[in-house]
Amino acid sequence: MAYLCSFHHRRMAKTGAKESFSQYRNILSDLELKKYKPFYLLMGEEPYYIDKLSRYMSEKILSPEEQGFNQIILYGSEVTAPQIVETARRFPMMAQKQVVIVREAQQVRELEKTLEIYLRQAPETTVLVICYPGKTVDKRTAFYKAAQSKGVVLESAVLREEEVAGWISRYALEMKAEMTPEAAVLLADYLGADLSKITMELDKLLMLLPVEKRRITPDVIEQNVGISKEHSPFALCKAISYRDLPTAIRVARYFGENAKSYPFVMVNSVLFSHFARIIKYHALQQNASKPSNQEMAAALGMHPYFMNEIETAARNFSIRQATQVIWLLRAYDGRFKSNERGGADEGALLQEVIYKILR
């Protein structure tokens, strides 16, 4: 149980993806209404929202005629903090505003101190956009407080593993398409949490579907993206949950034959997360006030559609057995990264650990 607490603490520490999406939508809504602020700080580990907003501002705030004299794109590796401020303090030419976008601003030395002074008297005729991909500003600093007071701050957080499928489903809905939960999980397993990669694949997929029939199922993904619904980490977890050894071994063998796409470390990590979720399910079931299916799904970070599977997994693996599997996966992770595995390839090692889990 101590392990469960530490695991839960680590996962809870990485929060903010939902807030990031909400901030992004609010900023985009204001921009579409032509409500512009003099300063934008776009920061965080997930570059997707930063790129989307900075691109929108570069294309929409000024007309094409105004952009020639009044839109300046700077790069952090090529400018200094004083040069950025000097550019931002200029007056626009034959336009009401100028737009100054600084990409890769995290490379500029002494930028935060310089901008904190700039923000004390930031000109209303300039829209200054600071892009900080891969970095967040210390929220205790005077610069951060000034940025919030005088302008807009976006903190773009990376999606947690359990949030990816939900994000994919929301994006599909925004694009006027329906996506089944299985399809969303299949894509999440295959693409990971890279939002730029996810949107690129979904946009390509949607272009292939007729407008009047935009329903994305595992079969549609298999036919158009090339992902096998029968050979995915999702399929492996399901087979193990139901103690279906032949299917689990068949999937593991496929992963071994395609180790570049399904490396042992990645698959082992997926199994680790799956059994950690089983442990958490058991812990939640022991609460005096039993949560509903919806509450349970939210606590486990999964779609309610998949509650039947996790319930089956919990029946097939007690909390003690699930904990033993966690330690087994840890041992095989160490074995894979050392010389202990001998001549065993990734597929053989994965099949071996699955035999031990299910036997």
**Domain end (from 155, 176, 198):** 155
pLDDT for 249: 92
Is 11 within the bounds of a domain? no
The per-residue DSSP string of 108-147 comes to: STTHHHHHHHHGGG--TTEEEEEEEETB---TTSHHHHHH
* Res 9: pLDDT: 39
The answer to whether residue 10 is domain-embedded is: no
Q: What is the pLDDT of residues 102-140, one digit of tens each?
A: 999 999 999 999 999 999 999 999 999 999 998 889 999
Number of domains in the chain: 3
Cα-based angle 6, 313, 8 (whole degrees, multiple of 5): 15
Query: Does residue 310 fall inside a structural domain?
Result: yes
Claim to verify: residue 145 and residue 177 sit in the same structural domain: no
**148, part of any domain:** yes
pLDDT band at 15 (very low <50, low <70, confident <90, very high): very low
| Tens of pLDDT, residues 238-287 | 999 999 999 999 999 999 888 888 898 889 988 998 999 999 999 988 87
Between 212 and 248, the more confident residue is 248
Give the residue among 36, 43, 2 at the shortest CA–CA distance from 20: 43
Residues 268, 146 share a domain: no
Q: Calculate the CA 292 to chain-centre distance.
A: 27
Query: What is the rounded distance in angstroms from the CA atom of residue 99 to the CA atom of residue 61?
Result: 8
The verdict on residue 1 lying in a domain is no
Alpha-carbon span 108 to 104, nearest angstrom? 8
- Residue 10, pLDDT score: 38
pLDDT at 288: 66
What pLDDT shows up at residue 227? Answer: 74
How far the first Cα of the chain sits from its last, in Å, is 24
Domain boundary among 107, 139, 155: 155
- Within a domain: 3: no
String of b and e for 293-316 (b: at least 16 CB within 10 Å)? eeebbeebbbbeebbebbeebbee
Q: What contacts 38, CB < 8 A, 6 or more positions away?
A: 122, 123, 124, 126, 127, 128, 150, 151
Decide the pairing of beta strands 39-44 and 126-133: parallel
Instruction: Report the pLDDT value the prediction gives residue 337, as an integer from 0 to 100.
Output: 82
Quickly state the pLDDT bin for 329 (edges 50, 70, 90). very high
Residue 4 inside a domain? The answer is no
Residues above pLDDT 70, as percent of the chain: 94
Same domain, 28 and 102: yes
Q: Round to whole Å and give the CA distance between 1 and 153.
A: 39
Q: Is the pLDDT of residue 47 over 70?
A: yes
**How many Å apart are CA 328 and CA 128, to the nearest integer?**
53
Query: Where residue 145 sits, what CATH number does that domain have?
Result: 3.40.50.300
Q: Is residue 7 part of a domain?
A: no
Residues 201, 90 within the same domain:
no
Domain boundary among 155, 187, 215: 155
| Average pLDDT rounded to a whole number, residues 160-168 | 84
Q: What is the mean pLDDT of residues 220-231?
A: 80
**CATH number for 204:** 1.10.8.60
194: left (phi over 0), alpha (psi -120 to 50) or beta: beta
Domain region containing 335? 233-358
Predicted local distance difference test score (pLDDT) of residue 342:
62
Strand intervals (E) in the chain: 39-44, 71-75, 98-103, 126-133, 152-155, 178-179, 215-216
Q: How confident is the model at residue 175, as a pLDDT?
A: 87
Burial class (CB in 10 A: 0-12, 13-18, 19+), 46: buried
Vertex 40 angle, CA 23 and 106, to 5°: 105
pTM to 2 decimals?
0.73
One-letter amino acid at 246 equals P
Report the mean per-residue pLDDT for the chain: 88
What average pLDDT does the segment 194-207 reach? 89
In whole angstroms, give the CA distance from residue 84 to residue 74. 8
Task: Read off the pLDDT band of 343 (50, 70, 90).
Answer: low
Pick the more confident residue, 60 or 234.
60
pLDDT band at 206 (very low <50, low <70, confident <90, very high): confident
Of residues 26 and 295, the one with the higher pLDDT is 26
The stretch 336-344 carries a mean pLDDT of: 71
Q: How far is CA 170 from CA 35, 118, 175, 181, in A?
A: 26, 39, 9, 11
DSSP state for residue 290 in the 8-state scheme: P
H or E stretch covering 297: helix 293-300
CATH of the domain at 250: 1.20.272.10
- Each residue of 278-321: pLDDT tens digit? 999 999 888 767 777 788 888 887 777 788 899 999 999 999 99
Contacts of 284 (CB under 8 A, 6+ apart): 291, 296, 299, 300
**Is the separation of the CB atoms in 264 and 233 below 8 Å?**
no
- Of 95 and 229, more confident: 95
